[in-house]
């Protein structure tokens, strides 16, 4: 029972990160129509920069804040220098462009930091809480707290500020937002910057427990995408709930020895199942029509 509770808390911490990744993906998609597969790679650059700063003697907390803040202008530059060229293209072309960014940024990480694995410091406080015989990992509890604060800040931004209201209008209908005078051209880079900062925040929080491999960290876009799809790329609450469920299922899978080594496949399986479920109204009539012709 104690192990199950400990794995539950660990799963909630991991799921909170997945939910945060999903929120970043959803926010950018709703406002710009771009499904950003490079989201994880942006976080990888932040993780490796964070590790380098810590190695250079910068306090981990300051390095954490620094890379999250620096990710904002980096995200803006991605839009201004690259993605703006695809502004009038369809969503598929934009998504493919972000896959190119994913590959390119992982390549940049290799050029700057070399092809070997990078040591990611365990920078969160290393203490545990014991409750009813269950040892609760401190890092996951801290992650839960940080993500809760971030969600509160995002809620305030989007509901109590003029910029946030304009961004929500863009998310609802970009065409209508432009007609009523909302400066889409100026706000789109801000959305990219916000999304990049969320990616940096999430990846630096989860990297110490996920390992130093750049490609593996970059593919964390998949569980983030799964959480966003569970929330239908529209509901922030649904995205967060989806991320929490993913994290708990993945963590609890680790309780069974035979399934533990495949726990990382859980987000891929969930994403596939959700996509098939969402397409059931399209696939079933097609199958019935095919059967009728037969």
Q: What are phi and psi of 131, to 5 degrees?
A: -130, 115
Residue 231, token pair as written in the block: 């929330």
Q: What are phi and psi of 136, to 5 degrees?
A: -95, 120
Higher pLDDT, 167 or 20: 20
Task: Report pLDDT digits (tens) over 180-225.
Answer: 777 877 888 988 999 999 999 989 988 887 766 787 788 888 888 8
Q: Which CATH topology does 2-293 take?
A: ABC transporter involved in vitamin B12 uptake, BtuC (1.10.3470)
Ranked by mean pLDDT, which of 41-45, 135-139, 148-152, 231-235 comes out on top?
41-45
Higher pLDDT, 9 or 263: 9
pLDDT at 6 over 80: no
pLDDT at 285 over 80: no
pLDDT value at position 278? 64
Mean pLDDT on 69-97: 90
**Residue-range domain boundaries for the chain:** 2-293
Report d(CA 144, CA 159) in Å as an integer. Answer: 22
Task: Report pLDDT digits (tens) over 112-144.
Answer: 887 555 677 777 777 666 655 556 667 777 777
Report field, pTM of the whole predicted structure over 0.75: yes
pLDDT at 67 over 90: yes
pLDDT at 45 over 60: yes
pLDDT value at position 155? 79
Location of structure tokens 């969320």: 198
| DSSP H or E segment with residue 251 | helix 236-253
Task: Report pLDDT digits (tens) over 230-248.
Answer: 888 877 888 888 888 888 8
Residue 154, token pair as written in the block: 């995002």
Q: How far is CA 189 from its chain centroid?
A: 18
**Rounded percentage of the chain residues whose pLDDT exceeds 70:** 78
The residues, any chain, with a CB within 8 Å of residue 128's CB and separated by 6 or more, are 135, 136, 137, 138
């Amino acid at each position: 029972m104690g192990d199950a509770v400990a794995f539950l808390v660990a799963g909630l911490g991991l799921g909170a990160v997945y939910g945060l990744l999903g929120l970043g993906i959803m926010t950018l998609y709703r406002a710009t129509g771009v499904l950003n597969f490079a989201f994880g790679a942006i976080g990888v650059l932040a993780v490796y920069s964070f590790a380098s700063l810590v190695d250079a003697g910068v306090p981990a907390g300051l390095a954490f804040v620094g890379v999250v803040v620096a990710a904002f202008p980096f995200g803006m530059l991605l839009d201004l220098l690259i993605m703006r060229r695809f502004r009038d293209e369809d969503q598929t072309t934009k998504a493919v462009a972000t896959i190119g960014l994913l590959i390119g940024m992982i390549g940049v990480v290799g050029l700057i930091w070399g092809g070997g694995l990078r040591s990611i410091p365990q920078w969160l406080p290393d203490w545990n809480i014991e409750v009813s015989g269950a040892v609760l990992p401190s890092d996951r509890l801290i992650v839960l707290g940080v993500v809760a604060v971030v969600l509160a800040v995002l809620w305030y931004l989007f509901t109590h500020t003029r910029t946030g209201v304009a961004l929500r209008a863009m998310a609802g209908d970009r065409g209508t937002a432009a007609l009523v005078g909302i400066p889409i051209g100026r706000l789109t880079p801000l959305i990219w910057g916000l999304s990049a900062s969320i990616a940096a925040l999430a990846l630096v929080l989860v990297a110490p427990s996920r390992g130093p491999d750049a490609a593996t960290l970059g593919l964390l876009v998949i569980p983030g995408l799964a959480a966003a799809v569970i929330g239908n790329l529209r509901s922030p609450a649904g995205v967060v709930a989806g991320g929490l469920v993913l994290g708990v299922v993945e963590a609890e899978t680790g309780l069974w020895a035979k399934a533990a080594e495949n726990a990382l496949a859980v987000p891929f399986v969930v994403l596939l199942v959700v996509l098939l479920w969402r397409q059931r109204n399209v696939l079933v009539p097609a199958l019935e029509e095919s059967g009728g012709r037969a």
